[in-house]
Amino acid sequence: MLKTGFLPEETRQKLHTVIYEADTRAGKLFDIILLCVILISIVAVMLESVASIKIVYGHELAVIEWVITILFTLEYIARVVSVREPLRYIFSFYGFVDLLATLPKYVGLLFPGSGFLIAVRAVRLLRVFRILKLTHFVGASNQLLAALRKSQVKIAVFLFSVIVLCIIMGTLMYMIEGPESGFTSIPTSIYWTIVTLTTVGFGDITPITPLGQLMSMVIMIMGYGIIAVPTGLVTAQFMAETPHLNTQACPNCGANQHRDDAKFCYNCGAGLTK
């Protein structure tokens, strides 16, 4: 039943084209309007959190929020009815994101104390990625993701080693500095170690004892040095994507800088003898 959708096939297909595709004029317009509504909604959520603005424009922001929530609800319904397999959409990643874009407001209505849900609305921003998927950015971001995915085991090994290092170093710092310097517990010391190793350096906790400062120097120089590892991994991966051009010259036309795996000359089509 659900597989065939709620609407007549023709209407459903028309709606589907407008909502999910960007090739027609209507589809493009829909995307642009949606993009604007999302951005307005994000700005409204941000402004609402600023106390001084909420006092003055609180009412206007609440109205805008309701209008946007209703628009998103209508859009969600339209998305559900316009696909051939609604359940598949509902339980997809973007299905959940679309639902989370509307739900918090209604939940807040039922349970007045759930004001903390305000921030959940920020996930609306994730919807921007779906719209941009339809643009020419997709090639570049796919390349980025592919390179990251290929080196993910090495990145995992690296991150795991960094975390083990931080736990051991953090425990050592707790032993050395103790609660007097702000290293009140091992978890806090580990927090400080990560702050230091990643070269963030808030300065809310700083070592005071000479030995603690010495250890800090070791941690800082390690952090300064080992950042080379993820960088090297990702760079090597980015470059491995491009086939190397060699200095071999074509025996027929003399053109050079062929791909390493070239069998024929790119310029005259003659076979390359290897």
Q: Which of residues 103-142 bind its own copies (CB under 8 A)?
A: 116, 118-119, 122-123, 125-126, 128-129, 132, 136-137, 139-141
| Nearest Cα residue to 75 out of 106, 129, 35 | 35
| Nearest Cα residue to 212 out of 189, 194, 195 | 189
Q: Which pair of tokens denotes residue 202?
A: 């808030």
Q: Which of 12, 73, 201, 209 binds its own copies (CB under 8 A)?
A: 201
- Find the binding residues for its own copies in span 168-197 (CB under 8 A): 168, 171-172, 174-175, 179, 184-188, 190-191, 194-197
| Nearest Cα residue to 158 out of 227, 218, 215, 217 | 227
- Find the binding residues for its own copies in span 216-235 (CB under 8 A): 216-217, 220-221, 223-225, 227-235
246 binds its own copies (CB under 8 A): yes
Q: Which of 37, 57, 167, 209 binds its own copies (CB under 8 A)?
A: 167
Helix (H, G, I), strand (E, B) or coil at 271: strand
Q: Which pair of tokens denotes residue 169?
A: 């170093």
Segment interacting with its own copies, rule: CB under 8 A, options 2-10, 21-29, 97-105, 156-164: 156-164
Rg (CA), the chain: 28
Segment interacting with its own copies, rule: CB under 8 A, options 29-37, 71-79, 104-112, 261-269: 261-269
**All residues at 6 or more sequence positions from 115 whose CB lies less than 8 Å from its CB, including other chains:** 108
CA 1 to chain CA centroid, Å, is 36
83 binds its own copies (CB under 8 A): no
Q: Which of 32, 77, 144, 211 binds its own copies (CB under 8 A)?
A: 144
DSSP designation for 227: T
- Find the binding residues for its own copies in span 32-51 (CB under 8 A): 42, 45-46, 49-51
